[in-house]
Amino acid sequence: MTDNIISVVAALIRDDAGRMLVVRKRGTEAFMQPGGKRDAGEDDLTALEREIGEELGCRMVPGSARSLGQFDCPAANEPGCRVQSERLRGERPRCRRSAGRNRRSPVD
């Protein structure tokens, strides 16, 4: 984090009906796209693969991730901070277990 900027990588995951997968951390109100902060030395794809595994128990389909660009918005859970995210989209991940609290939301 630099000053009040939180840098993350996030995944846009849609099902066949066009609904987007969103997740929520325990003890928070806001739903958001799965992903998170990069560990030292990680590139965007490596960080996203790790985060998808940790959060959802899933593996990304190799070679399917494509950048959607960089986005900036107010942080949902850190007052006074902003989130800068690199968003990636790929084929729906292959999952072995159900994630805790998540839902799919219609996307316009």
What is the DSSP secondary-structure string of 17-69?
A: TSPEEEE--TT----B-SEEEPPTT--HHHHHHHHHHHHHSEEPPTT--EEEE
pTM listed for this prediction: 0.77
| Local confidence band at 96 (pLDDT 50, 70, 90 cut-offs) | low
Pair 21, 70: CB distance under 8 Å: no
pLDDT at 104 exceeding the cut of 60: no
**pLDDT recorded at residue 15:** 83
Domains annotated on the chain, with CATH: 5-89 (3.90.79.10)
